[in-house]
Structure 1
């Protein structure tokens, strides 16, 4: 099983290539859609890594893939600018999920 990166910047792509992860750099809605379709059609790919920017800018594409495909697993990762999430996002997520304040 392989990982595949879809990034919006060359720095993240270069870092992941050094770690042995194949990938592509895309910038537009259509490029992202095409890259996702190619990655999904490759049965060797079990995990798709996406920079968080795509989750913010094109949530409809990401959600569609997550809803209609069991594999691959899609994981949003921070890019070179860091994460766009709040510092306590994990605690907030758990609070929402179980309905208890930690």
Structure 2
């Protein structure tokens, strides 16, 4: 099972490439949606990683896909230099899997 990054940030793309995750730089909403659909249809891709900028661009569509998709995982990676408060990770876990920490 492979992972694939869809990013609007070159630093995030290069960082994840260094860790072995392939990806593509996308700058507009239509291209992001088309690439997401293409990667979800690829049987070799198990995890699609979206940069926070891309997720914000296509959030409604991603949430609809997450509700019906059973075999693939879509996750967000914060942008380099992104500003998240100290409770971000705790809230993210709680909201994602329902465990209160």
TM-score (norm 2): 0.81
Distance across 1 between alignment mates of 2:81 and 2:71: 28
Highest Rg: 1 or 2? 1
1:34-89 CA distance string (max 9 Å, x none): 1101100111111111111222232112112212211210110011122x433212
Distance across 1 between alignment mates of 2:77 and 2:50: 6
Distance across 2 between alignment mates of 1:79 and 1:65: 22
Report if the CA contact (8 A) 2:6-2:54 is conserved.
no
The residue matched to 1:53 in structure 2 has which SS? Answer: helix
Gaps of 5+ in 2: none
How many equivalent pairs are there? 98
Report if the CA contact (8 A) 2:52-2:79 is conserved.
yes
- Aligned: 1:88 with 2:87: yes
The residue matched to 1:3 in structure 2 has which SS? Answer: strand
Q: Runs of 4+ in structure 1 displaced over 4 angstroms?
A: none
Which stretch of structure 1 is more off in the superposition, 13-22 or 37-46?
13-22
Report if the CA contact (8 A) 1:49-1:77 is conserved.
yes
C-alpha RMSD of matched pairs (Å): 2.2
TM-score (norm 1): 0.80
